[in-house]
Amino acid sequence: MRIWGIALPARTPVSFVVDGERLRASGSSTSDGPWLLPGLADVHSHPGTEAPADEYAHEVFRRHMLAHRAAGVLTVRSPGSADPVRDRPDDLDLPRLARSGQWLATPGRFFPDAGRRISESELPEAAVEEAALGWCKVIGDWMPDDPPVPLDVLTATVDAVHAVGGRVAVHCQTAEGCRNAVLAGADSLEHGMHLDHSLLPRMAAQGTALVPTFSAFAKSIENIEASSADQRLKDWIRDGWEHAFPTVRAAHEAGVTVLAGTDNKPCGQVAAEISWLVEAGMPVEAAIGAGSWTARAWLGLPGLVDGGFADVVAYDADPTEDPDVLLRPKQIVLRGKVVV
């Protein structure tokens, strides 16, 4: 099979033949072909459960991943899972999965009965165990009046995981929780609602990414007035939502890697998350990269290059000129096979 067109982000004509699951450069292309992306990426999704406390179900996992695939999302990172998800021979028709172990929740943090419950003293060892899948996810804080995981504990956890070659995602929403995650050297901040902008240069320097998950909080904002939460919590959520927009813009301008993750159901909605990033002030091309080539590179995956994965989404028009084009993939190729 031959794949040809104009590759983003370079906007260069390319031509490949598919060799198994790999792309091999083949001849030259013209400038009038379809626009090509190396697949979209959702770096914060939890396939396999509808809610954090649900028991993992593989049929639900497949349904979620197929919804991602239908939208052109060919790579998914699951930072925290109800059950460790491993490759199965019958799942090779699904998007690539960057795995994490279970959520790691210390006392007083996270949803009741969700995640792996451990003490603070157990956190470094447990994180190393969960990071055997590549990533681990630490619940670094919770409600606004709750203290976050102490900085010394979180630092020891990050250091222990890095020592074995793993990476650490930290759920953080409070200002202090975000601060501790940055100072501990976490690989990614999940949410970062009340992140202090003075920390952005440090994040950029040490390579800590920000995954703001607008899609998840947009749903919370829609339902906040009807919720039973007290007024202080409602105000805190609203303030965090309003703070997230200038935070994303400032993070991008500071050189922080900002990535698209939905943390929301239904799956396959990363194009909407990209639109939120644009609304927050990221340039369109950078926002699309946050849900495609930038995210893939951050996860260690190649783009549209000779020897890269044969994961390609083709569009009739340039999505950097009109991001709504992302909602209308012309062709989707995953692991060298046409799926749409």
CATH architecture observed for domain 1-38+302-340: Roll (2.30)
Per domain, the residue ranges of the chain are 1-38+302-340, 40-301
Q: Which helix (H) or strand (E) holds 41?
A: strand 40-42
pLDDT, tens digit, 9 for 90 and up, residues 184-241? 999 999 999 999 999 999 999 999 999 999 999 998 888 887 787 788 888 999 999 9
Tokens linked to 235: 């105000």
| 40-301 matches 1-38+302-340 in CATH topology | no
Tokens linked to 312: 């390609």
Q: What mean pLDDT do residues 135-151 have? A: 96
Tokens linked to 123: 């956190």
pLDDT at 84: 57
pLDDT at 83: 63
Four-way CATH pick for 40-301: 2.60.40.10, 3.20.20.140, 1.10.3720.10, 3.50.20.10: 3.20.20.140
Tokens linked to 231: 């007024």
Q: Is 256 buried (19+), middle (13-18) or exposed (0-12) by CB count in 10 A?
A: buried
pTM of the model: 0.96
**Which of 246, 309, 337, 329 is CA-nearest to residue 68?**
329
pLDDT at 149: 98
Residue 86 has pLDDT above 70, yes or no: no
